[in-house]
């Protein structure tokens, strides 16, 4: 059986993202969105989610290139001089491992983000992280340990099979040390989630084509989806706002929204007998609750 979760990252980052999430859920394939609780448009995103109870919302834990929920003075080793999380993931990863006392600051901020999500009154569908920083074992462990106190039952596993992407693009699958390292990290994350009884997807698509999940690519991918639970995640927006131009200047946000609204993609999902679902339905053991 093939089941798919169509999801959007960065809900709450910007009004253009919020508008796209609303449109893609109301008129398209979008089943879920991941909320950045520390960003300027988070309150608007929460209001949209309350208007659409069928939209499953999770927490997009942000620890790089984002705004913290905690006061910067409480997490000094996590933020830069402006009080924001810097964008260098490699440097952040080393700090998370080696800087004395940083685990307590990470725990403080992760808890603050889960607490902020709880105050929204929304049901917690899942958790994942901005830039997939939960591949870092320290971050992953804290998210699961703290998240379980807030009802966390599902986490994105960012493991993307190279084969379907290569077939959709018409070339051989890529390999190399980078791919091997990613498989090792995701393998460790998968084992940890299983030990804690946390539900997850079997595979994800959106890594190789991050910011460019176009209608043509998604349509080419759908016939080649593996069995099991697939999450296909997007970064939709109605326009390239100043904030998006600054943080994601090369992303094709409007094209990703178009893919979620595509009648052809929806037709292919039906033709290939693919069920649309959500993390909540998976955690509950239900096959699907998402309307076609």
At 119 the three-state DSSP class reads helix
The pLDDT of 280-284, averaged and rounded, is 95
The ranges assigned to domains in the chain are 2-284
Instruction: Give backbone dihedrals phi and psi of 96, rounded to 5 degrees, phi first.
Output: -60, -30
What percent of the chain is modeled with pLDDT above 70? 91
The pLDDT of 156-169, averaged and rounded, is 92
The CA distance from 265 to 218, in Å, is 7
* Cα Dmax for the chain: 54
37, pLDDT greater than 90: yes
- 250-263 pLDDT, tens digit per residue, is 999 999 999 999 99
Comparing CA positions, the residue from 67, 51, 66, 61 lying closest to residue 18 is 51
**Burial of 91 (C-beta count, 10 Å sphere; 0-12/13-18/19+):** exposed
Q: What is the pLDDT of residue 88?
A: 73
Q: What is the pLDDT of residue 101?
A: 82
Quickly state the pLDDT bin for 175 (edges 50, 70, 90): low
The pLDDT of 25-41, averaged and rounded, is 98
Going from the C-alpha of 175 to that of each of 50, 179, 212, 283, the distances in angstroms are 43, 6, 21, 32
Comparing CA positions, the residue from 74, 20, 31 lying closest to residue 54 is 31
- 178-203 pLDDT, tens digit per residue, is 566 677 778 888 999 999 999 999 99
Q: What is the pLDDT of residue 291?
A: 39
Q: What is the pLDDT of residue 181?
A: 63
The β-bridge partners of 232 are 6, 205
- 109-162 pLDDT, tens digit per residue, is 999 999 999 999 999 999 999 999 898 889 999 999 999 999 999 999 999 999
Is the domain defined by 2-284 classed in CATH 3.30.70.120? no
Output the pTM of the full model: 0.92
Q: What is the pLDDT of residue 129?
A: 96
Q: What is the pLDDT of residue 199?
A: 96
């Amino acid at each position: 059986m093939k089941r798919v979760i169509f999801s959007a990252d960065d809900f709450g980052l910007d009004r253009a993202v919020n508008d796209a999430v609303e449109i893609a859920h109301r008129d398209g394939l979008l089943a879920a969105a991941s909320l950045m609780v520390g960003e300027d448009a988070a309150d608007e995103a929460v209001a949209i989610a309350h208007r659409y109870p069928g939209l499953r919302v999770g927490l997009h834990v942000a620890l790089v290139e984002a705004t913290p929920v905690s006061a910067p003075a409480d997490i000094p080793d996590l933020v830069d001089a402006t009080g924001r999380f810097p964008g260098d993931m490699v440097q952040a990863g080393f700090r998370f491992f080696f800087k004395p006392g940083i685990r307590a600051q990470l725990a403080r901020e992760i808890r603050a983000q889960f607490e902020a999500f709880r105050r929204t009154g929304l049901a917690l569908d899942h958790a994942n992280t901005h830039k997939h920083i939960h591949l870092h074992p320290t971050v992953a462990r804290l998210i699961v340990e703290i998240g379980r106190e807030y009802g966390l039952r599902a986490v994105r596993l960012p493991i993307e099979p190279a084969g379907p992407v290569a077939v959709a693009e018409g070339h051989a699958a890529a390999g190399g040390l980078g791919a091997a390292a990613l498989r090792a990290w995701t393998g460790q994350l998968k084992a940890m989630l299983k030990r804690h009884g946390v539900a997850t997807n079997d595979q994800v698509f959106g890594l190789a084509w991050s910011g460019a999940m176009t209608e043509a690519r998604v349509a080419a991918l759908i016939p080649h989806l593996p069995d099991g639970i697939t999450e296909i995640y997007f970064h939709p927006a109605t326009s390239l706002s100043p904030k998006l131009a600054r943080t994601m200047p090369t992303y094709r946000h409007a094209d990703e929204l178009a893919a979620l609204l595509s009648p052809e993609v929806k037709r292919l999902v039906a033709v290939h007998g693919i069920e649309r679902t959500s993390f909540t339905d998976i955690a509950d053991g239900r096959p699907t609750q998402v309307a076609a």
